[in-house]
Amino acid sequence: MPVLENFEITGLAAEGNALGRHGDMVVFVPFGAPGDIADVKLEKKKKSYAQGRIVALKQPSRDRVQPPCEHFTICGGCRWQHLPYRMQLEAKHRQVADAIDRIAKVEHPAIPMTLGSRNIWCYRNKMEYTFSNRCWLTFEQLESGEEFPDRDAAGFHIPGAFDKVLDIKKCHLQDDLGNRIRLFVKAYGKERGLTFYDLKAQSGFLRTLMIRIASTGECMALMAFGEDRPADIEALMQALAAEFPSLTSIMYAVNTKVNDTLGDIDIKLFKGKEYIEEEMEGLRFRVGPKSFYQTNSEQAYELYKVVRDFARLKGGELVYDLYTGTGTIANFVSRLARKVVGIEYVPEAIADAKINSAVNGIENTVFFAGDMKDVLTDSFIAEHGRPDVMIIDPPRAGMHQDVVDTVLRAEPDAIVYVSCNPATQARDLALLDIKYSVEAVQPVDMFPHTQHVENVVRLVRRRQAQMADSTEL
């Protein structure tokens, strides 16, 4: 494939890429910055677009900043750390605006700038690492001609190469305690000749490590082993407890499945509590090894404040919280509502939601587990009451059509739609447009240095919106 010499990068695109034009063809380039002049080698070419990579940066953009991470461009995360944070927020704002304008095609008020995160490093409360005997070798290492007999790694999967893991020296996304725990386990394994997992052969002892560090300072370490070796497990757990006495919770699991997920695996407590706690406005939220909690604790608080503001509760409302997870939003807004009904697919999450209500003395919440389209039905609404406000926070795929239809029939006065995927949110806004108008929009950055953006939209029933307009006149 050809090399485009002195190619100018002019903007940012989806999936964390930059872009420029070569004639009528758009060229997507990872790790570029608007204003870069570079030699770009094309690696994939279609009729109207191509993908390439920078092979020589001739003239760096004036906007470029020095990435702090030595693994930049290799691990696949933090793809925008070479861009100033203001530019990242502007790009996420455009992403939201473009989705609403081009996909939803609905009227909306001016969209404020993306709400930035106070901490742009060390903001993640949860990290997951993989142990592998097939360390990823960089282009430089391969071209050096050196032999690398020791391929054991503890780090992240390489995008597009499931069986390769990049050995991480230091990750900047979590408190350094996370790095120290990972490096300790790796060193312990090397010293004692413990096998690192072989992702192709599906064998090996050290497999995955999850570390949660809460805003309260509590910390959970969960080690998953690919083989059931009780004596070795006990020895490693004892060593971990001795090295890190501040750990609130030390857990382990034996996972002999093909995949790394632990949702259906029995988790065993070795030391401490079975959960750690997050705190928000005096509310305590228990987070277990399988619990979902927003990965940026501080920014989750800012996000939930936007949700609460958009709900405009006065104390007498019946609120439905769809896709409630562990009931964080439901419990957060409960003090301003008459009653909150939460629905979630995962039974374990609903169990956590009920516990979170109980430990905080919240008595006006009820929670139900099951597939949203099967639980949220006309008969369910008839039984539990027509909601005044619906808070909807679906997975990336957005709402099922059946759920959209039920929401439209329920006719809540207002909907607060929270989404981690502006494209599917925009699709759903178009479906809701038959009865609802967009009254407010607020993008929120939960993941600095990535292309991901959270977006909150307030929708009001059209009859109400028209009445409000006539009142103002």
Which pair of structure tokens corresponds to residue 279? 């705190």
Which DSSP helix (H) or strand (E) runs through 272? strand 268-272
In the annotation, is 75 catalytic? no
Which pair of structure tokens corresponds to residue 120? 């742009």
Cα distance between residue 468 and residue 473, in whole Å: 9
Catalytic one of 69, 135, 219, 420: 420
Cα distance between residue 34 and residue 63, in whole Å: 8
- Cα-Cα end-to-end distance for the chain: 63
Pairing of strands 3-8, 37-45: antiparallel
Cα distance between residue 113 and residue 86, in whole Å: 10
Cα distance between residue 452 and residue 425, in whole Å: 14
Q: Are 51 and 28 spatial neighbours (Cβ–Cβ below 8 Å)?
A: yes
Cα distance between residue 169 and residue 176, in whole Å: 11
Q: Are 204 and 266 spatial neighbours (Cβ–Cβ below 8 Å)?
A: no
Cα distance between residue 182 and residue 83, in whole Å: 28
Which pair of structure tokens corresponds to residue 156? 């992240």
Cα distance between residue 461 and residue 437, in whole Å: 7
* Catalytic residue ranges: 420
